[in-house]
Amino acid sequence: MNKPRVAIQGIKASFHQEAAVKFFGEDIELVECTSFKQTFEALSRKEADYVVMAIENSIAGSLLPNYSLMMNYNFPVVGEVSLRIQLHLLAYPGVKFEDVKYAISHPIALRQCVDFMEEYPQIKVIESSDTAACAKRVHDEKLMDTVAIANTMAAELYELNALEKRIESNKKNYTRFLIMADKHNGTIADPNKASLCFQAGNEVGSLAKVLNIFAENEINLSKIQSMPVLGKPNEYNFYADVEWQEPKQYDAAIKQALKYTHNFNILGEYRKNDKI
């Protein structure tokens, strides 16, 4: 059997690789991409079998552009995985803390370390595309005045020293990732969670009616996120994650919700997996 080809935003030793390994195991073929859009393009061109994509972080919040990508490409969500995020200040061997003038990392990672960085205003923070790529740059260019903020995997792969460990603002920091697949890989046995997208009417109580339908059918609404509809003022897409015990109750809730919504999409039905 062929290894699953998994597209990630970033390179080896990124958090996306960690998430992919946690979900699929070590025996995967990594498809490295420079952007989230590129991961979906790889799936479209059948250069990958799956996409692993961060969707929310407990400190930095939801990655809103990624919801739009899910809608635009319409690949089914087939799973989820949550990853504890531990960030370290990584330097080229021999570099001391007092030598550091710059810190480079992905903007989401930087937001997770804002409390630590505010204590050292002499260090200029620079946003870049990927945590692991920043670590690789420090290694390849032998940077003596620049540190990368990245994970342990990056420190080991690119032979960097941790000047400071665990600099994330909240030690219970985690990121949730979604797994998308091509249509033929999109059927999951016995799902108990779904990601939905819909629009509710702009009248008083429209959204409340939909939420009440879920409650009355004993469907747990674990997340709801609104985003403006592009080009339509005062109209919003609602992205919701729902969980259920009985499939019949879920089916009934969906049928009832359709009466009070429009542009209703089931983005994916999958097994709940929130172990960190």
Instruction: Indicate whether 179 and 60 sit together in one domain.
Output: yes
pLDDT confidence tier of residue 275, bands split at 50, 70 and 90: confident
Is the pLDDT at 189 greater than 70? The verdict is: yes
The answer to whether residue 121 sits within a structural domain is yes
Burial track 235-250 (b if 16+ CB lie within 10 A, e otherwise)? ebbbbbbbbbeeeeeb
pLDDT tens by residue, 132-147: 999 999 999 999 999 9
The answer to whether residue 27 sits within a structural domain is yes
The answer to whether residue 236 sits within a structural domain is yes
Instruction: Indicate whether 153 and 123 sit together in one domain.
Output: yes
Using alpha carbons only, give the angle 220, 223, 224 rounded to the nearest 5 degrees: 115
Strand partners, 6: 30, 50
Q: Is 26 helix (H, G, I), strand (E, B) or coil?
A: coil
Instruction: Indicate whether 179 and 59 sit together in one domain.
Output: yes
Instruction: Indicate whether 98 and 150 sit together in one domain.
Output: yes
Overall domain count for the chain? 3
Instruction: Indicate whether 102 and 76 sit together in one domain.
Output: no
Q: Is 1 helix (H, G, I), strand (E, B) or coil?
A: coil
Instruction: Indicate whether 213 and 238 sit together in one domain.
Output: yes
Helix pair 64-73, 36-44: axis angle to 10 deg: 10
The answer to whether residue 275 sits within a structural domain is no
Which range, of 33-47, 92-106, 262-276, averages the lowest pLDDT? 262-276
Domain containing residue 243: 193-270
Instruction: Indicate whether 74 and 180 sit together in one domain.
Output: yes
Helix pair 247-257, 206-216: axis angle to 10 deg: 160
Instruction: Indicate whether 22 and 157 sit together in one domain.
Output: no
pLDDT tens by residue, 174-185: 999 999 998 877
- The values of phi and psi at residue 39, to 5°, are -65, -40
Mean pLDDT throughout 161-168?
96
How many whole angstroms separate alpha carbon 189 and alpha carbon 65? 29
- The values of phi and psi at residue 216, to 5°, are -65, -25
Give residue 88's pLDDT: 97
The answer to whether residue 257 sits within a structural domain is yes
Residues whose CB falls within 8 Å of the CB of residue 254, separated by 6 or more in sequence, listed in order: 266
The CATH number that applies at residue 237 is 3.30.70.260
Is the pLDDT at 30 greater than 90? The verdict is: yes
Instruction: Indicate whether 203 and 180 sit together in one domain.
Output: no
Is the pLDDT at 186 greater than 80? The verdict is: no
Residue whose entry in the numeric block shows the structure tokens 């790889």: 42
Q: What is the mean pLDDT of the chain?
A: 94
Mean pLDDT throughout 225-236?
86
Instruction: Indicate whether 266 and 159 sit together in one domain.
Output: no
pLDDT tens by residue, 235-256: 889 999 999 999 999 999 999 9
**What is the model's pTM?**
0.91
The CATH number that applies at residue 139 is 3.40.190.10
pLDDT confidence tier of residue 276, bands split at 50, 70 and 90: confident
Mean pLDDT throughout 151-172?
95
Give residue 1's pLDDT: 62
Give residue 274's pLDDT: 81
Nearest to 9 by CA among 160, 159, 143, 180: 180
Instruction: Indicate whether 14 and 113 sit together in one domain.
Output: no
CA-CA-CA-CA torsion sign (179, 74, 10, 33): positive
pLDDT tens by residue, 82-137: 999 999 999 999 999 999 999 999 998 999 999 999 999 999 999 998 899 999 99
